[in-house]
């Protein structure tokens, strides 16, 4: 049986009446179809209505997606965001407890862009709200460019931690990545290992080493860039999804209780 892969959704408005919809980019679905070899299942951003125990009992792995919206600062004790900064409280209310439960249960997790930021916040870390406002930092935000190959193209280099998870996948410590984010990790959560940093020191990849209760963590990694955009042409992007696939336990062999 193919593994069931949960993909986190955002709450977005569509149509002429601005109706709320639960949405995830097709790029994640295609990555699960074509590289992970699983069945993609979209997880709605339904907050308090989300049955996390039921999700964990049925899913084999989770992908936490990128998004234009920011993780709200009240979730990590940060100052108010600038006026007009996009937020998605329904997503926060779903993904943060889901991440904590998934890490506790040892479920394989791949966190991408906003997903990486959620992973850090869920485990007790904090965020910078606008990296481009920090002295000595480059602008990591989405280029205002309608031509997709330029908008999502490789933007800067990151340095992988020698001997780490990302270094093993890439076969080198120098990696070129795309860049489409404003927020970034400020204080890493306890139990996180830094797997890569950008040229300005921004944390670009992490791995969960220990769970909050001190036990060794299962497979849980995050990257700040978007491997789902170029998995068909970028070998490292494909390897990230393939590595996640390799971590998926056969059906019936998952941990069944969360500590």
226 is catalytic: yes
Q: Are 197 and 215 in contact (CB under 8 A)?
A: no
Give the bridge partners for 223, in sequence order: 112, 205
Among 118, 195, 204, 228, which one carries the catalytic annotation? 228
113 is an active site residue: yes
Q: Are strands 4-8 and 39-43 parallel, antiparallel or unpaired?
A: parallel
DSSP code string of 2-45: PPEEEEE-EEEEETTTTEEEEE--HHHHHHIIIII-SEEEEE--
Say which of 9, 10, 113, 118 is annotated catalytic. 113
Q: Give the three-class secondary structure for 84.
A: coil
Q: Any catalytic annotation for residue 228?
A: yes
> Which residue is catalytic, options 156, 167, 181, 226?
226
**Among residues 251, 246, 252, 249, which one has the least CA distance to residue 35?**
246
Exposed e or buried b for every residue in 198-224, given b needs 16+ CB within 10 A?
Answer: beeebbbbbbbeebbeeeebbbbbbbb
- Give the position of tokens 């860039």: 225
Determine the distance from the C-alpha atom of residue 52 to the mean position of all C-alpha atoms in its chain, rounded to a whole number: 18
For 139, counting Cβ atoms within 10 Å of its Cβ (0-12 exposed, 13-18 middle, 19+ buried), the class is middle
Q: Which residues does the annotation mark as catalytic? A: 113, 226, 228
């Amino acid at each position: 049986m193919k593994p069931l892969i949960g993909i986190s959704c955002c709450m977005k408005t569509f149509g002429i009446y601005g109706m709320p919809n639960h949405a995830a980019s097709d790029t994640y679905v295609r990555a699960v179809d074509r590289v992970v070899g699983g069945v993609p299942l979209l997880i709605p951003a339904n907050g308090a209505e989300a049955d996390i125990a039921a999700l964990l009992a049925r899913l084999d792995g989770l992908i936490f997606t990128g998004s234009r919206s920011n993780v709200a600062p009240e979730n990590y004790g940060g100052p108010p965001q600038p006026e007009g900064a996009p937020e998605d409280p329904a997503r926060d209310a779903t993904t943060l407890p889901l991440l904590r439960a998934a890490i506790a249960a040892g479920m394989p997790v791949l966190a991408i862009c906003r997903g990486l930021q959620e992973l850090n916040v869920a485990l007790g870390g904090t965020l910078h709200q606008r990296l481009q406002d920090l002295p000595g930092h480059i602008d990591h935000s989405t280029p205002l460019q309608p031509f997709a190959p330029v908008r999502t193209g490789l933007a800067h280099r990151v340095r992988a931690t020698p001997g780490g998870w990302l270094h093993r996948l890439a076969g080198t410590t120098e990696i070129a990545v795309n860049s489409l984010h404003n927020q970034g990790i400020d204080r890493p959560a306890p139990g996180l290992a830094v797997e890569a940093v950008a040229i300005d020191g921004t944390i670009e990849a992490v791995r969960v080493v220990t769970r909050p209760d001190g036990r060794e963590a299962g497979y849980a990694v995050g990257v700040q860039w978007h491997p789902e955009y170029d998995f068909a042409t970028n070998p490292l992007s494909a390897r990230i999804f393939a590595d996640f696939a390799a971590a998926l336990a056969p059906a019936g062999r998952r941990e069944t209780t969360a500590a």
